[in-house]
Structure 1
């Protein structure tokens, strides 16, 4: 299949998945119902994604691609870890507070099986946090931060950066934050990391 045709079909599948998660929830959004909504075959769905968990994994991975790319570039190229965080934080918040992530999190909150939540955690934070840990390890080695407990430093940075913004977006209590709020949160998280000694 030509790449542009595949991209078009993948776009329809992605849109159909988000629509059905919002309408029916995770348990009722079957591969067949997604295939019908996307106007593609159920066989294509299973060939490309394996199962519904595989489809969600692809969506989460695609949604987090920009944030992951910032970390990958920094880890491969060197440079100041804290300067990387200045770029990374706003990108990550943009992903986590964007409509796609909010739709996935709303569906996960309503999924009694916990399957969707486990996949979101594994494919999202489970990928990003270790990379962030590698970056903060370099920051500690280079004397940019005093932390020796890198997992705790990762938790601190993410906790200050994200706070309760995502859950407030999920429950509809908060509109997407503006650029200045995102920058302020990230600057605060970096400032705290600079003095964190655990």
Structure 2
């Protein structure tokens, strides 16, 4: 890859970061229904044409934001599957960090108030739809070759339930403050211990 290509990639990454910041800022102020592509472009000091060229439409923009939020956990899960070793505590911490990040909380709040349900659909497809199959694949690997896929799916779902519980919705509604790193680690340790003890 040439230096010029590297510079273009870095410039695009920086521009995408600015667009993401603008979109999250407007989302917090106006909710999903009040955010327009033009408003995001103005806030990010980008052209409206660039946003439409890169993301297609508003759901496409938010799909890209959700994908960015999920990418690190997905990469970590893919690496754990490839290497054949999944540390549930480390993965649990990473998943909680993603699900309880300020960006994820803003997206969940906006999805809950979006009467069209379009943001909720994008969240389900791009967030859970991308990450959960990887968690299920990891559990398939942990439980052994002869394990039925349905059993691996059930185990993965139970682990996610034990890990996340009602934290996501309570943070989104403001019923609890975002748990700090120590609290998230303790929760991940608890989920890993419990899933290993339960008959599946």
The answer, yes or no, to whether TM exceeds 0.5 is yes
Residues 4-39 of structure 1, C-alpha deviations (whole Å, 9 max, x = no match):
332232122111101111111112201111111111
Distance change in 2, residues 1:40/1:150 (3 Å):
same
Q: RMSD across aligned C-alpha pairs, in angstroms?
A: 2.0
Q: How many residue pairs align between the two structures?
A: 193
1-structure distance, mates of 2:30, 2:110: 9
- Matched-pair contact (CA < 8 Å) for 1:90–1:183: yes
Partner of 1:104: 107
Could you tell me which of 192, 197, 200 is aligned with 1:195? 197
1-structure distance, mates of 2:80, 2:17: 29
Could you tell me which of 21, 26, 32 is aligned with 2:27? 21
2-structure distance, mates of 1:39, 1:183: 38
1-structure distance, mates of 2:48, 2:151: 47
Partner of 1:135: 138
Could you tell me which of 115, 118, 122 is aligned with 1:115? 118
2-structure distance, mates of 1:124, 1:51: 18
Could you tell me which of 77, 96, 112 is aligned with 2:83? 77
Question: Structure 2: 5+ residue runs without aligned partners?
Answer: 1-6
Of Structure 1 and Structure 2, which has the larger fraction of its residues in helix? 2
Partner of 1:93: 96
